[in-house]
Amino acid sequence: MKKTGALFIVCGPSGVGKGTVCKELLRVKPEVKLSISATTRERRKGEIEGVNYYFIGKSNFQDMIKSGGFLEYAEVYNNLYGTPKKYVLEQLDMGYDIILEIDPQGAMQIKEKFPKGIFIFLLPPSMKELRNRIISRGRDDEDNIEKRLNCAYKEIDFIKEYDYYIINDDLSNAVNSLVSIIEAEGCRVKGNVDELIKMYKEEV
Ligand code: 5GP
């Protein structure tokens, strides 16, 4: 049965552990694809071009916007981030499930274009723990920590826009929940009715 892949959008406040959860998901479920975003932000130590991000300049980013190369893009903490369109559409067409790990502004743009996308919001066990995680990453000064936490409070108000939530209290629990969501979505009747009927009727 030819199936189109499903688009999973993983969102959540800065510091909640989206990157870690998605990375671990790819290890346990390597058939799932992860979209690599383009960004204008500086490469951090240890990050690899084409693995973590495509690090591009502002003018290249603007060119890609103009040529319609992004499925969505947004400014997040003074840097631009965008999802390159071509790879995502190709993978979906080939039947692969694909994950976008993006911010909520981008997620809402995807919702307009792909209402069938599956929107997942990753939550911290508590705001106190979120603060601890942001501090322990050691990337932000006091001012930025407050900015990220304020932003998190606002983002949580939009939880109703999402289909699922996962509380990231323990990495393997969070990954198991994500795997369960992906697998359950793969068994949906809705969206596959014609294909299913065709498959079994053709057999007779
Ligand atoms: P970081 O710079 O810490 O890797 O990511 C900062 C934020 O940008 C995170 O919330 C991350 O989810 C978001 N982000 C990463 N890639 C994209 C993208 O392609 N589009 C949007 N809208 N947000 C992104």
- The model's pTM is 0.94
Name beta bridge partners: 76: 79
Q: Which of 197, 26, 37, 190 minimizes the C-alpha distance to 96? A: 26
Domains and CATH numbers, the chain: 7-35+97-201 (3.40.50.300)
- Percentage of residues in the chain with pLDDT exceeding 70? 99
Pocket test for ligand 1, best of 23, 36, 37 (most atoms within 8 A of CB): 37
Q: pLDDT digit string (tens) for 134-181?
A: 999 888 888 889 999 999 999 999 999 999 999 999 999 999 999 999
pLDDT digits (tens, 9 = 90+) for 26-58: 999 999 999 999 999 999 999 999 999 999 999
Q: Which atom of ligand 1 is nearest to the CA of 41?
A: 2
Q: Are 33 and 97 in contact (CB under 8 A)?
A: yes
How close is the Cα of 81 to the center of ligand 1, in Å? Answer: 6
- Cβ–Cβ contacts within 10 Å for residue 89, how many? 13
Order of strands across the sheet that contains 98-101: 33-34, 98-101, 7-11, 118-123, 164-167
Give the neighbor-by-neighbor strand order of the sheet with 79-84. 54-55, 38-39, 79-84, 70-76
pLDDT tens digits, residue range 57-84? Answer: 999 999 999 999 999 999 998 999 999 9
Q: Whose CA is nearest to atom 6 of ligand 1?
A: 76
178 burial via Cβ count (<10 Å: 0-12, 13-18, 19+): buried
Which residues lie with the beta carbon below 6 Å from any ligand 1 atom?
14, 18, 37, 41, 72, 74, 76, 81-83, 101-103, 105-106
Q: How many CB atoms lie within 10 A of CB 194?
A: 8
The DSSP bridge partners found for residue 11 are: 121
